[in-house]
Amino acid sequence: MAQHSLANARELDRKDALSSYKDEFYIPANTKYMDGNSLGLLSKRAERTLHELLDSWKTLGIDGWTEGEHPWFYLSEQVGEKMAPLVGGKKGEVIATGSTTTNLHQLVSTFYKPDGNKTKILADELNFPSDIYALKSQLQLKGYDSDTHLIRVKSRDGRYLKEDDIIDAMTDDVALIVLPAVLYRSGQVLDMEELTKAAQERNIPIGFDLCHSIGAVEHSLHDWGTDFAFWCTYKHLNGGPGSVGGLFVHEKHFGKAPGLAGWFGSQKESQFDMDHTMDPALDAGAYQIGTPHVLSLAPVIGSLDMFEEVGIAAIRAKSLELTDYMLELIEQELQGYGFTIGNPVDETRGGHLLLEHEEAARICKALKEDGIIPDFRAPNGIRLAPVALYNSFEDVWHTIQKLKTIMDEKRYEKFENKRGVVA
């Protein structure tokens, strides 16, 4: 393996076609930000569109619903159309609305139709807790015992899932499948196409949580025939804390009544008729429940402009290059310090890496003190996410050098090996 130096990192940055986008972002002073898989950074474009929408309220008042550059009444559809290429969806299949868990509740309420012995929901034991909470509560609302009706596919090693194991669990009593596209700890990318095909062959609706994949990896949800998907926009999409989520519903389901009805799911032309019989939109817009959160949607508009310019294929390519480079530096610099790589080393990894260490919590604290912003995940994980739009190869080089110094000098020992309130 070639030895990587600071000069080598700078040469890679010089050749990087996306390097100029780093100047688009506000990077906290004196830091190397490696936590974009948890919260993406603010860009100047997102800041601008936030101010534009704030100004439309200031200058137009209630007329902002239908006037201005971004009329609020159509904002969810507008942002959904901009997001659609990132998930491989067609116009009308994607809507910006709600939050990750609210959208999951909406989609499960719509697609979970227990019938006869088909009453169970299939998930996995490595899924993000909020998804599991939502699935359990949906089962309970239908009168089922979540301990017996929520099937969670076991991991063989505590890090990854085997697609064959998931497919084997697609038994005759399963009425719905909900899985992560990218596992939030290990960063493993599941084969969504293979899993969708297997579910279709068994006539089971399938949906995916794209929170850790949208904006980092490519998807072809429409072509795969995936029934539905849902996601947040504050990680790789850089929409800001609590920014509005998104969902995808395949056009084959257009006209299907939403499980949870709300007036913004109406057809636009008839919404203000105020009829007590709902006239749902004929596309993914039907799955909106309440009024758009305009000021939380605003930064997403500016952020998505960059994704339109660059394209998800180029972002994915650079992401793989950055994480490849980081893996090489870990092998070069961190042997013998007790680290284990907990993510796939091939292209089945997403946009972040996982380093496991028994002292992970306090190593993360030491990194932050040294200006490296990581992300701790219990019990022993350090997540590092070099993001294509605002991280450089030099950032990666400095991150691993700092980590090596921390281990050499045992700087982590002055901290308690316990996570903070927000890890």
Per-residue pLDDT tens digits for 409-422: 999 999 988 877 66
In sequence order, the 6+-apart residues with CB closer than 8 A to the CB of 100 are 130, 209, 211, 230, 231, 232, 245
Tens of pLDDT, residue by residue over 13-60, are 999 999 999 999 999 999 999 999 999 999 999 999 999 999 999 999
* The pair of three-digit structure tokens given for residue 286, joined into one six-digit string: 């039907």
Q: Where does CATH 3.90.1150.10 sit in the chain? A: 6-43+311-413
The binding site consists of 100-101, 128-131, 209, 212, 234, 263, 291
Of the CA atoms within 13 Å of residue 285, those in its CB half-sphere come to 24
Q: What is the pLDDT of residue 2?
A: 61
Per residue in 138-162, pLDDT tens?
A: 999 999 999 999 999 999 999 999 9
Residue 375 in contact with residue 382, Cβ under 8 Å?
Answer: yes
Binding-site positions for pyridoxal 5'-phosphate:
100-101, 128-131, 209, 212, 234, 263, 291
Q: In which region does residue 143 sit, left (phi positive, over 0), alpha (psi from -120 to 50) or beta (all else)?
A: left
Give the pLDDT confidence score for residue 1 in this predicted structure: 47
Fold of 6-43+311-413: Aspartate Aminotransferase, domain 1 (3.90.1150)
Task: Give this prediction's pTM.
Answer: 0.96
Q: Mark the ranges of the chain whose per-residue pLDDT is less than 70.
A: 1-2, 421-423
For the four alpha carbons of 389, 103, 129 and 347, in that order, the dihedral sign comes to negative
Domain at 48-310: CATH code: 3.40.640.10
Q: Cite the residue boundaries of each domain of the chain with CATH code 3.40.640.10.
A: 48-310
Q: What is the pLDDT of residue 49?
A: 98
CA angle 38, 9, 43 (to 5 degrees): 40
pLDDT of residue 416: 86
